[in-house]
Amino acid sequence: MAFLHVKFPSSWPGWTTPECTLTPLLLTPHDHHTILPVHDKPLTVSVDPTTNADYYSDSPVFRAYFLRSSATSTSASVALKFAMRDDLIDSLVQEASVYTGILGCLQGSVIPYCYGIYAGTMDDGQTVACLALEYWGECLQHPFDRLSVDLRWVYILRTLPRMSKKIIFLLSQISLSKDFASSNNS
């Protein structure tokens, strides 16, 4: 697994980190994480400067694009979920373990493909983690936690067009929780 090299926009007021290189984390069956030795070239992504995200948040989600060689005309879109506090890093590692564990066989068809979880230190010394996922859906124009529960479910179901009718039916049977985290939406 390669390093993840993230290039941030220079146009964001107050954002002082132009780029960072993060090391892949290994997920064990018990959700512990350790740094892996890496020998591949880094995966480089460029964060979209028009991303509709609060980049001062402790858990921002950015849309970015893999930068490919000049021979490739298109680059894949990716969602980068950052955790900027230790307690959030642990939660993000747990989320990654769900993608790579029990839901691994559903990646790319029912749930976004997981490109991995990475960690490192920003220029200011802050420890961060980043979960890189295939980009699905659209940015919301209003904060997720301010939408009605019904509208939250509409957005969730609209962003999962690849789900079978049976899975959508099962989701509709789940009791509607009012505890949606806005950091889970890109």
11-25, 61-75, 121-135: segment of lowest average pLDDT:
61-75
The mean predicted confidence, pLDDT, of the chain is 78
Buried/exposed 136-166: b ≥16 CB within 10 Å, e otherwise: ebeebeeebeebeeeebbebeeebbeebeee
> What is the rounded CA–CA span in Å between residue 59 and residue 97?
18
For the beta carbon of residue 76, count every other beta carbon within 10 angstroms: 14
> What is 4-134's CATH number, 3.30.565.10, 3.40.605.10, 3.40.50.11540, 3.30.200.20?
3.30.200.20
Q: For the chain, what are the domain ranges?
A: 4-134, 144-184
113-122, 138-147, 165-174: segment of lowest average pLDDT:
165-174
Q: Does residue 107 surpass a pLDDT of 70?
A: yes
Q: Give the contacts of 130 (CB within 8 A, at least 6 positions apart).
A: 4, 6, 22, 80, 81, 82, 83, 92, 117, 118, 119
Integer-rounded Cα radius of gyration of the chain:
17
The model's pTM is 0.72
